[in-house]
Structure 1
């Protein structure tokens, strides 16, 4: 049992899903950021970022329509990344391990939403009395306390009691099962790209996608070079559009 790792995992999950800073929520809850945090913890930044990026690809095109969360990529990353780093799983197998926990996170979020209805009714009562401080507490303080128990405590217990068990189970599995996990995990990121294609699947936008794809495949550009060229291309389009409007 690693109490330090359990405390750290619980803190990272709470940080990634707390509602204090809406502008940072999507970044703090991304697999890449969580991989960065665990890379710092284990002293292996490259592996942490690689695992985080692989998990993030699965949820690349995820859209929370109406605020409803289809999957919890933060919980998936918080559970799977430390297990993979301790057991030596490759990125694809870690992705396959992460997905079920992403589904579990949806149920935790439903509990959060249900508890919020209590504070909404309480805030209505306080509004009739003109209690501004009480309304503030119902809007920020009380929900954050509930979120702490819903986020920190489950991950702390899973990491404290279940990580070693999962690692022991993985180490006892036959090689062909681990290979199956890797193959399945390798397919899942393609689903993230497929969702992105559906999202930007307008005829006038698809050429940009294929330009980037074939630039990587045939010109051998790395991610940084592709991002720089993509930014320059986007700026050219914006400048040209502004010139026409003027």
Structure 2
């Protein structure tokens, strides 16, 4: 059975710590990625010479942080000198040869020319950017004007659609009235046809009755004439 009291257990501590890298080393590493290797090598050689001249001006031993930074930089400069010797940029006495100095001078001049050309291109690009910004502002203004025109046209179209709906309602109402009138006309025409038919039938009957009455009158007249003749 486990009877360990975890509340009294010793917390885990990591006693190993990584060495602290000075800030200037990280800054130099970040700037060296963007700089030219030749200029970086020249600057580091100059820094190494300055460090050798400044050996007599070391800080007191009780200032451990400053001593640590100095020792770290001195070790770094020694490594840089080893690398420069390996690739032939520095001779055995840690001095730059005249050929190398001439090469550095030529390289610096070419870099200055390239920088001047890049500055000219930069000025041209700035002018282009300025023109593009002006054109962009004009396009924005045109877009604003078009949006206003579109809103105005939308309002006009909405008003026209409302008018069209009103006219369609009026037309539908009138069409309904016309249909009602046409239905009434059809009904009246049917009634007229029926009445005309009834009238024609009545007239025919009346004519027949009048003919019968005329025949009876003729018969009576004939009978009267016969009686008169008999009386005579």
Q: Could you say which TM-score interval applies, normalised by the shorter chain?
A: under 0.3
Higher normalized contact order (CA 8 Å, seq sep 6+, divided by chain length): 1
User: Bigger radius of gyration, 1 or 2?
Assistant: 2
Output the TM-score relative to the length of structure 2. 0.22
Output the TM-score relative to the length of structure 1. 0.21
